[in-house]
Amino acid sequence: MLYYLFRWLDVQYDFPGAGLFNYISFRAAMALLLSLVISLVYGKNIIDFLRKKQIGETIRELGLEGEKTKKGTPTMGGLIILSAILIPTLLFAKIGSVYIILLLITTVWLGIIGALDDYIKVFKKDKKGLSGKFKIIGQVGLGIIVGTVLYFNGNVVIKDEIPTGEVYKYDSNEVTKVTDDKGVAHYMITEKSTITTLPFIKNQEIDYERILGSINEEWTKYTWLIFIPIVIFIITAVSNAANLTDGIDGLAAGSASIIGATLLVFAYVSGNIIFADYLNIMYIPNVGELVIFCAAFIGACVGFLWYNAYPAQVFMGDTGSLALGGIIATMALCVRKELLLPLICGVFLVETVSVMMQVSYFKYTKRKYGEGRRIFLMSPLHHHFQKMGIHESKIVSRFWIIGIMLAVLSIVTLKIQ
């Protein structure tokens, strides 16, 4: 909202300093600072409110060190994260951007689902919370919305370079001429496309249309039947993975902030035609606005760590964890880096796989030997290390280090596109 106000002041009255709001970097910095202020200053008030209303965590007896001391710790702290994301984004981003609208919907949608889950656990005294099928329905519903918008909306486009000799084939109004620092002219065409980045392979991208087009060229018009289910799967998988990771103090919030910083880099270079050309990556018009959202996302997660780091004064609950995962998935889809998510979200992936391995092996051995056996002492993986006697703060620090390494490796892939 402030973007539109100061742009009007700049155009109409040449208001001093108003032009700063034209720069994504300035608005991102302001969003980051405001999200930190909201989470740090008002986070304490929210925690006091949750404690007053006796919205405390009910800890299952798992035999973990320090488990009893956490009982009664305020939960639903995800409200701190959500408010610290939404308010700066609404103030500093172009809220008319299709990408910003999608992420605002994602944040509120999964925040509500998570809040319902926490509400049932706390007030209805049901440790299972919201039924799994209702969570899945909510995640699938969001996936349908995100997938439909990304596939059909006319503002979700890319700019692709066309050979100089083929410029005549296109409408001149659709072609943009760009001259590089060597004086060489490049011609860009704005087009609707289902292309996404194929990581680790130079100059290679994959088009979802090819999946059906390789069978029958006429089937390409039904590409949405493949694209939307893929979006549903990604959003459901990442939001549940973030939820599983939220098991010890600071792990989910810290890991999410690292992932958010990685996606901020991707959004900035993909939305800047100069960097996109230099790095030889896909240029996505208007996706640069996601930098503001990413900045608010990072500030919210880091600010939340002030209260969530060991020993935690508040837990984010499903209100925060489901939303964080869904936001990460949607951002990756917007910058067309969804195939890189296993690397970017490596910590989330390992946590999820550990649960899948544990459950599958337990069921298999129970059928075969009559008693279930385990691969890990406990899953998700962070509980396995706790059972080994490693302090949770050390576990979290090591997971963060791994997350940073994966983030650096993910950013390095920009040089091998």
pLDDT tens-digit readout, 243-272: 999 989 999 999 999 999 999 999 999 998
Q: Per-residue pLDDT averaged across 220-232, rounded?
A: 92
Say if 169 falls within a structural domain: no
pLDDT of residue 69: 67
SS3 60: coil
Phi-psi region of 286 (alpha: psi -120 to 50; beta: other; left: phi over 0): left
Q: CB–CB of 347/403 below 8 Å?
A: yes
What are the Cα distances from residue 398, in Å, to 255, 259, 261, 324, 404? 11, 15, 18, 21, 10
- 113-156 per-position pLDDT tens digit: 999 999 898 888 777 888 889 999 999 999 999 999 999 998 89
Q: Per-residue pLDDT averaged across 299-314, rounded?
A: 94
pLDDT of residue 354: 95
Q: CB–CB of 5/20 below 8 Å?
A: no
pTM: 0.92
Residue bearing tokens 């108003």: 18
pLDDT of residue 26: 93
Say if 95 falls within a structural domain: yes
Q: Which helix (H) or strand (E) holds 326?
A: helix 317-334
pLDDT of residue 57: 66
Q: Count up the domains in the chain and report the number.
A: 1
pLDDT of residue 171: 61
Percent of the chain with pLDDT over 70: 89
**Higher per-residue pLDDT: 1 or 337:** 337
Say if 185 falls within a structural domain: no
Q: Per-residue pLDDT averaged across 79-83, rounded?
A: 96
pLDDT of residue 324: 96
What are the Cα distances from residue 51, in Å, to 42, 72, 319, 321? 14, 9, 16, 20
Rounded CA-CA distance 198/338 in Å is 9
pLDDT of residue 177: 67
- 341-392 per-position pLDDT tens digit: 999 999 999 999 999 999 999 999 999 888 889 999 998 999 999 999 999 9
Q: Which domain holds residue 197?
A: 2-157+192-416
Q: Residue 271, exposed/middle/buried by CB under 10 A (0-12, 13-18, 19+)? A: buried
The DSSP line for 99-140 is: HHHHHHHHHHHHHHHHHHHHHHHHHS--TT-S-HHHHHHHHH
Contacts of 188 (CB under 8 A, 6+ apart): 159, 160, 161, 162, 175, 176, 177, 178, 273, 283
Say if 178 falls within a structural domain: no
Average pLDDT, the chain: 88
pLDDT of residue 86: 96
